[in-house]
C-alpha cells in the first residue's frame, strides 16, 4: 500500500510540493514525473517509512502562499 500525499503545484508549474511529516518539511518533485510512485526525498530522516514505501501524489492545486514560504520560497522570488 503506497501512501498518497497531497502535492501542491509551484507557481511556475514545474514542481509539486509535498509535506513530509517525518522530515517536517516540504519535498519538491518535478511535476512531469510525479504521476507514478515516487522515491521519497527523505534525506533528513532516513528512518522515514517513505524511504521504503515511496508515495504517490494527488494534485492539491496551486500552493497557498504559506505552503510556498514553508517550502523555502521567498516573497522576493514569488514576486519575480
3-state secondary structure of 76: helix
Full DSSP string of 27-73: EEEEGGG-SS-B----SS-TT-THHHH-BEEEEEEEPPHHHHHHTT-
Q: At closest approach, how far in Å is the CB of 50 from Zn ion?
A: 6
Q: At closest approach, how far in Å is the CB of 24 from Zn ion?
A: 8
The grid coordinates listed for 33 are 514525473
Range 45-74, binding Zn ion (CB under 5 A): 48
Kindly tell me which residue out of 17, 18, 38, 42 binds Zn ion, with binding defined by CB under 5 A: 42
CB count within 10 Å of CB 39 equals 10
**Contact letters (x/-) for Zn ion, 1-40, by CB under 5 A?**
-------------------x-xx-----------------
Q: At closest approach, how far in Å is the CB of 25 from Zn ion?
A: 7
Q: Which residues here bind Zn ion, judged by CB under 5 A?
A: 20, 22-23, 42, 48
Amino acid at each position: 500500500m503506497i501512501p498518497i500525499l497531497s502535492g501542491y503545484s509551484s507557481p511556475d508549474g514545474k514542481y509539486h510540493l509535498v509535506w513530509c511529516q517525518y522530515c517536517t518539511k516540504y519535498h519538491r518533485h518535478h511535476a512531469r514525473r510525479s504521476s507514478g510512485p515516487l522515491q521519497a526525498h527523505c534525506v533528513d530522516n532516513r528512518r522515514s517509512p517513505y524511504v521504503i514505501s515511496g508515495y504517490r501524489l494527488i494534485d492539491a492545486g496551486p500552493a497557498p502562499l504559506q505552503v510556498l514560504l514553508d517550502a523555502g520560497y521567498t516573497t522576493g522570488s514569488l514576486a519575480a
